Structure 1
Amino acid sequence: MSVTITLATVARVLTQIRHDKRTVVVLLSVPSALLVLLRYIFGDRVDIFDQIGLTLLGIFPFISMFLITSVAMLRERTSGTLERLLSTPTHKADLLFGYGIAFALLAAVQATVAAAVAYGLLGLQSQGSFGMVIIIAITTAVLGSSTGLLTSAFARTEFQALQFAPAVILPQLLLCGLIWPREQMAWPLQAASDLLPLRYAADAMTEVGTFPTPTTTMLRDLLILIVFTIALLLAATATLRRRAA
């Protein structure tokens, strides 16, 4: 793995995204727009918005980066770009970690914009710091990117890549505790949720909302998210071939 080649991959991915202005606008505006909608749905129940809005700040980056990365990597595979890159000194790790870093930077901007709207315009309140919210959001975004990199190996078209979204995202949304407390779920569902990374993102955001300083539980959840991310990146590495898919 080469730092120079990895950084070159980062620059290439960011340049491609920068030229797709509609994607950039959607990526930066949709999470904020959804938070505005959610705020007015709950009306005077600001306590509910504080809880759910904060959790969604950690979940939105996962969803958006999963969708963008899965489609972008599939294009690399089907267009022959991946084959050409792997015929150069570019290592699989250079490619995947370059993607991860590029989307982490993009996620930092997205999370900052969404959090600024939530805290500054919508009155979201939490005991923990704004900075910890951004860190968790970036971590879940990179997790979404690594998940998208892996699932793109099992699709042949962009439509097929998007079909993975309900299977990957919806179970995690249902079991992470956003809709119903995990403690009140049947024990098989609680056990299943322990195997799903968004559960730990939701728990980490709950800790930020409840405590003014980072807790052991929050740091544990953050570490688990990082482990999931690395494991998925390594699994994605195994799917890369020197022949276009």
Structure 2
Amino acid sequence: MSISRTLWTAARVLTQIRHDRRTLLLVLFVPSLLLTLLRFIFVDRLDIFDQIGLMLLGIFPFTSMFLVTSVAMLRERVSGTLERLLSTPLQKLDLLFGYALAFAALAALQACIAAAVAYGPLGLRTQGKIATVLLIGVSTAILGCCTGLLTSAFARTEFQALQFMPAVVFPQVLLCGLIWPRAEMSTALQLASDVMPLRYAADAMSEVGTFPLPTTTLWLDLLAIAGFAFATLLGGAATLRRKSE
């Protein structure tokens, strides 16, 4: 793996995203709009907004980066770009780490905008600091990017890539504790959620909402997220095909 080739890949991906203005606007501003909608839904229950809104700051980056990355990588294969790139000295890990780095930068910008809106006009209240929220948001975005790279290997069209969202994202959202506390779920559902990375993102955000300083649980949650991201990235490298058949 080469650092220079990885950075070149990241720069190339960011340039492509910069020219796709509609995708850029959707990725950067839709989370803020959804948080605003949630704030008006719970206009008389700010305590619920504080809890759910905080968790969504960790879930939105995962979801958006998963969608964008899976479709972008599929386009690379369908157009033949991936085949041409891999015929050069560029290695699979150079490509995948470059993608992860590019979308991490995009996710950092998305997280900053969403957090500024949430903590500013929407009045989100937490015990922990915004910097910790941003760290978790970027971590889950990298995880979403790595997961998108992995699942894109099993799709032949963009429509098929989008179909992975109900299978990969929705179960995690349902079982992470956003809709119902995990402690009140059945043992089987709790065990299932333990192998789903968004559960650790939701737990980390809950720690931020409860404690003013990062806790041991929060760091362990971040370590789990990093482990899932690394495992899916390696899986993406193992299943990466030059083109769709």
Question: Please, what TM-score do these two structures have when normalized by structure 1?
Answer: 0.99
Give the secondary structure class of the aligned counterpart of 1:121: coil
Whole-angstrom distance in 2 between the partners of 1:243 and 1:189: 37
Determine the structure 2 residue equivalent to 1:15.
15
Matched with 1:84 is 84
Equivalence for 1:48:
48
| 2:129 alignment partner in structure 1 | 129
Shift of 1:123: 0.3
Alpha-carbon RMSD = 0.8
- For residues 199-238 of structure 1, the aligned pairs below 5 Å read 199-238=199-238
1:28 pairs with 2:34: no
Q: Residue type of the partner of 2:42?
A: F
Name the CA distance, whole Å, in 2 between partners of 1:93 and 1:30: 31
Report whether the alignment pairs 1:158 with 2:152.
no
Structure 1 unmatched runs, 5+: none
State the partner residue of 2:5.
Answer: 5
Give the equivalent residue in structure 1 for 2:93.
93
C-alpha displacement at 1:241, in angstroms? 3.4
- 8 A Cα contact 1:32 1:114, kept in partner: yes
Task: Find out whether 1:180 has 2:215 as its counterpart.
Answer: no
Contact kept? 1:49, 1:124, Cα under 8 Å: yes
Q: Taking structure 1 as reference, are residues 44 and 242 closer, same or farther at Cα in structure 2, changes over 3 Å only? A: closer
Answer whether contact 1:201 1:222 (CA < 8 A) is retained.
yes
Please say if residues 153 and 241 of structure 2, whose CA atoms lie closer than 8 Å, have aligned partners that are also in contact.
no
One-letter code aligned to 1:215: T
Question: What is the correspondence of 1:52-63 to structure 2 with a 5 Å cutoff?
Answer: 52-63=52-63
How many residue pairs get aligned? The number is 245
Per the alignment, residue 144 of structure 2 pairs with 144
Unpaired runs of 5+ residues, structure 2, are: none
- Which residue identity does 2:211 align to in structure 1? F
Q: Which residue of 1 aligns with 2:107?
A: 107
